Amino acid sequence: MTTVTSPLAGRAIGLAAVPDPVFSGAMVGPGTAIDPVREASEAVSPVDGVVVSLHPHAFVVVDAEGHGVLTHLGIDTVQLNGQGFELLVAKGDTVTRGQAVVRWNPADVEAAGKSPICPVVALEATADSLSDVVESGDVKADDQLFGWN
C-alpha cells in the first residue's frame, strides 16, 4: 500500500469542494484537496518516487509501485505562466517524501485572482482503491492524506 502525505500545511477540504469541475468531479482521479496556509512555503513530495511531470504550478511523483500522485498548486494557476513559482527539483529526479519540490506563496496566487486550493490526486486510481481519505481538519506537511491499495 502507498501512503500519500500532504504536500503542504493547511486545511483538508476534500475534492468535492475544489472550484474546478475537472477536480471536484474526480475526472483526474480520486483524492483530496488542501486549502493552504497563506504564506510563502515549499510544496513537498507526497511519496518517495520519481518526478515524471513538473510544471511551476503542478507536479506528479510516481512511486515504486507505479502509483502517480498529482499535486496541483492552485486552480487555473497555469495562467500565471510560472510567475511566483520556483522549481526546486528537475523532471526525472528521484525524491523522498517531504522533499521540497516547488516554492510558492498561496497569498500571491490569491492576490492574482486565482484559487490557491491544492488538489492532491491519485492518478488512474479508482475511488475504492483509496482508504482513510482526509477531507476535513488542519493538516501539516507530511501528515497522511490517504492510503492507496
pLDDT tens string 68-127: 999 999 999 999 999 999 999 999 999 999 999 999 999 999 999 999 999 999 999 999
Number of domains in the chain: 1
Helix ranges restricted to H, the chain: 21-24, 106-111
Residues 59 and 125: their CA atoms lie apart, in Å, by 17
User: What's the full length of the chain, in residues?
Assistant: 149
What average pLDDT does this structure show over 6-20?
97
> Residue 101 in contact with residue 51, Cβ under 8 Å?
yes
Indicate which CATH number applies to the domain containing 88. 2.70.70.10
Q: For residue 85, what pLDDT is reported?
A: 97
Catalytic one of 55, 57, 67, 72? 72
In a domain? residue 144: no
In a domain? residue 138: no
> Residue 73 in contact with residue 60, Cβ under 8 Å?
no
Q: Is 72 a catalytic residue?
A: yes
Q: For residue 128, what pLDDT is reported?
A: 95
Q: For residue 118, what pLDDT is reported?
A: 98
Residues 27 and 43: their CA atoms lie apart, in Å, by 23
Q: For residue 57, what pLDDT is reported?
A: 97
**pLDDT one-digit tens code per residue, 17-54:** 999 999 999 999 999 999 999 999 999 999 999 999 99
Instruction: State which residues form the domain around 17.
Output: 8-132
